[in-house]
Amino acid sequence: MPSSIVLFGPGTGPAAVITSIFSVLVLLVQLALVVWTYTDAKDNSDQPAFLWAIVVFLAPLLGIVLYFLLGRK
C-alpha cells in the first residue's frame, strides 16, 4: 500500500507533491474568479451573469479582462 497520495500523474517525489498542490491552488483561484464574476455580473451587468461566468471559466485571463472591459456598466 503506498504511503503517499498522488493526485495527478505518476511519481511520489517532492516535485509531484508541489505540482499537485499548485494545480489545486490554480483550480481554486479559477473557481473563485468564476463565482466572483457571476455575483458581480448579477449586480453590474446588462448581460446574463451565467454567460460571463462561463466565459471566465473557459478562458480565465481573457475572460476576466473582457468582463472588465465589456461586461460592467
Q: Is residue 16 part of a domain?
A: no
Contact 68, 41 (CB under 8 A): no
C-alpha cell of residue 61: 485571463
Q: How many CB atoms lie within 10 A of CB 71?
A: 21
Q: Is residue 15 part of a domain?
A: no
Q: Is residue 33 part of a domain?
A: yes
Q: Is residue 6 part of a domain?
A: no
CA distance 64 to 72: 11
Q: Is residue 5 part of a domain?
A: no
Q: Is residue 21 part of a domain?
A: no
| Tens of pLDDT, residues 11-52 | 667 777 788 889 999 999 999 999 999 999 999 999 999 999
Domain count, the chain: 1
Q: Is residue 7 part of a domain?
A: no
Domain span holding position 35: 29-71
CA distance 5 to 31: 23
pLDDT of residue 4: 59
Which of the four pLDDT bands, split at 50, 70 and 90, describes residue 68?
Answer: very high
Q: Is residue 41 part of a domain?
A: yes
